[in-house]
């Protein structure tokens, strides 16, 4: 089972992000866009795991969620990995994300204890909007990213994080299907 742990986004935030994607699409670059209903904030990609580990992961997630209070995140600027001039992944960041970083540290430590690999790259709180497939119209895409960043409203939209979700990801010819297997509520 291919899995990951994430923060689900409220519908109104996914709608805002879908609107940003629509603006970026005007560049006509070769980008595989994340469907708005699938947009989330990944905390830990687990990959293929055995069914027998699911219960252990659930216990860990419940423990981590139980010691963290719900909190608000704010959308921030658009960005790209590895760098804005040569985008491979287009994302939007968040602010007020110290608690996210602490949760991820705890997740990494706990998942390693049940034999799951740790992430070698430092964690960066971001919400993936799309993956660039080729250099087609890259310059127009970079210009659109810069333009949108300059025109983003202040204050940025905020949303409440109230649970951690364990997802199953199924690859299909029409794209990925994400299914929430279980949610662990944060303290109120």
Q: Is the pLDDT of residue 108 over 90?
A: yes
pTM for the model: 0.94
Residue 7: active-site member? no
Q: What is the mean pLDDT of the chain?
A: 95
Active-site residue identified among 13, 36, 40, 41: 40
Question: Contact, 55 vs 146, CB < 8 A?
Answer: no
Q: What is the CATH number of the domain that holds 45?
A: 3.90.1140.10
pLDDT, tens only, 3-29: 999 999 999 999 999 999 999 999 999
Nearest to 148 by CA among 82, 62, 66, 76: 76
DSSP structure class, residue 180: E
Q: Which two tokens stand for residue 18?
A: 């879908």
pLDDT of residue 100: 97
Report the first-to-last Cα separation within the chain, whole angstroms.
31
Q: Is the pLDDT of residue 188 over 90?
A: no
Active-site residue identified among 126, 165, 166, 178: 126
Residue 44: active-site member? no
> Could you tell me which residue, 188 or 164, shows the higher pLDDT?
164
pLDDT of residue 175: 82
pLDDT, tens only, 31-61: 999 999 999 999 999 999 999 999 999 999 9
Q: Is the pLDDT of residue 154 over 80?
A: no
pLDDT of residue 81: 95
Q: What residue numbers bound the domain in which 90 lies?
A: 2-185
Neighbouring CB atoms inside 10 A of 81's CB total 17
How many independent structural domains does the chain possess? 1
């Amino acid at each position: 089972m291919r899995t990951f742990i994430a923060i689900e986004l409220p519908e109104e935030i996914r709608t805002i992000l879908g609107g940003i994607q629509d603006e970026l699409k005007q560049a006509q670059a070769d980008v595989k866009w994340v469907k708005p209903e699938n947009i989330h904030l990944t905390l830990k990609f687990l990959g293929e795991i055995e069914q027998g580990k699911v219960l252990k992961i659930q216990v860990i997630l419940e423990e981590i969620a139980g010691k963290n209070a719900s909190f608000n995140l704010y959308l921030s600027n658009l960005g790209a990995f590895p760098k804005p001039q040569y985008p491979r992944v287009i994302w939007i960041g968040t602010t007020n994300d110290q608690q996210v970083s602490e949760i991820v540290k705890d997740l990494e430590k706990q998942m390693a204890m049940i034999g799951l690999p740790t992430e070698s790259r430092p964690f960066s709180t971001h919400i993936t909007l799309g993956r660039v497939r080729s250099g087609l119209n890259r310059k127009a895409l970079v210009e659109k990213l810069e333009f949108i960043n300059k025109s983003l409203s202040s204050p940025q939209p905020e949303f409440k994080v109230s649970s951690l979700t364990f997802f199953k990801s199924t690859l299909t010819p029409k794209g990925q299907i994400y299914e929430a297997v279980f949610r662990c509520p944060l303290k109120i």
